[in-house]
Structure 1
Amino acid sequence: MNNFAMFGVVIAILAGCSNSSGSSNNNPRPGPVTNRQAAPLSTGPINSACLSSNRSARSRTLCGCIQTVANQTLSGSQQNRAAAFYNNPHQAQVIRQSDRAADERFWKAYRAYGERSEQVCS
């Protein structure tokens, strides 16, 4: 995925995803987690930042889902760094464009988190 498209994924996560399937079934289904209705919901820094954001698509379900994915894909310090993007989305662009090795490692992990969140929580 090119950098521009990945930045779009990041912005989509920050903006909040909507359930385009129209499903109202909130019961867990057997097999792999494929949407936020079946995903367990977690609390943490990303969930808190998501819930306190002014994004119209935020919900306990969405924010809890993306926190669950964060728990599976990001360290605690990476979660704190990612949570800061809710108050300062431009910082995501700064880190993405950085040449620092630490920023590149973070961005790689954050990109994987974004891709997984999009799969699980949309």
Structure 2
Amino acid sequence: MRPILFAAVAAILPMISGAALAGPIERACMASDRGGNRSLCGCIQQAADMTLSGGDQRRAAKFFKDPEAAHSTWTSQSASDDAFWDRYKNFGATAEASCAG
């Protein structure tokens, strides 16, 4: 039974659009005014997958639409915001190293 289920899923996956499979960072990147480069946005998503949890990715994706939210997080005095910002900076450095040029 399992091989049949696997075969059915494998047959359906190519039919699902790329956007449906994209992570929150990739979707936000593609929708941004500087986005539209699927290769670059996909690379940035891969960096996010390596460095950020799903919740952190959803939070960071909001920065594409609302850069002020990033600034507010950066200047926050909250310990949880500081911890998130450290993870976010690591993500940015990873994305820059992996996706530049």
What's the TM-score once normalised by structure 1's chain length? Answer: 0.63
Q: Which among 7, 24, 33 is matched to residue 54 of structure 1?
A: 33
Query: Take 1:117 and 1:68, find their aligned partners in 2: how far apart are those partners?
Result: 8
User: Which structure 1 segments of 5+ residues have no match?
Assistant: 1-41
Quote the offset at 1:46 in angstroms.
Answer: 0.4
**Alignment length (residue pairs):** 80
Structure 2 SS opposite 1:105: helix
Quote the offset at 1:92 in angstroms.
Answer: 0.6
What's the TM-score once normalised by structure 2's chain length? Answer: 0.76
- The structure with the largest helix share of the pair is 2
Query: Take 1:51 and 1:100, find their aligned partners in 2: how far apart are those partners?
Result: 30
Root-mean-square deviation (CA, aligned residues, Å) is: 1.2
Query: Take 1:46 and 1:111, find their aligned partners in 2: how far apart are those partners?
Result: 14
Q: Which among 56, 75, 80 is matched to residue 78 of structure 1?
A: 56
Instruction: Give CA deviations for 1:69-92 in whole Å, capped at 9, x if unaligned.
Output: 100000000000000001101111
Larger relative contact order (CA 8 Å, sep ≥ 6): 1
Q: Which among 14, 21, 24 is matched to residue 45 of structure 1?
A: 24
Query: Take 1:85 and 1:63, find their aligned partners in 2: how far apart are those partners?
Result: 14
Quote the offset at 1:43 in angstroms.
Answer: 2.1
**What stretches of structure 1 move > 3 A for 4+ residues in a row?**
none
1:97-112 aligned within 5 A: 97-112=75-90
Larger of the two Rg values belongs to structure? 2
Instruction: Give CA deviations for 1:17-66 in whole Å, capped at 9, x if unaligned.
Output: xxxxxxxxxxxxxxxxxxxxxxxxx82000001101111x5400000000
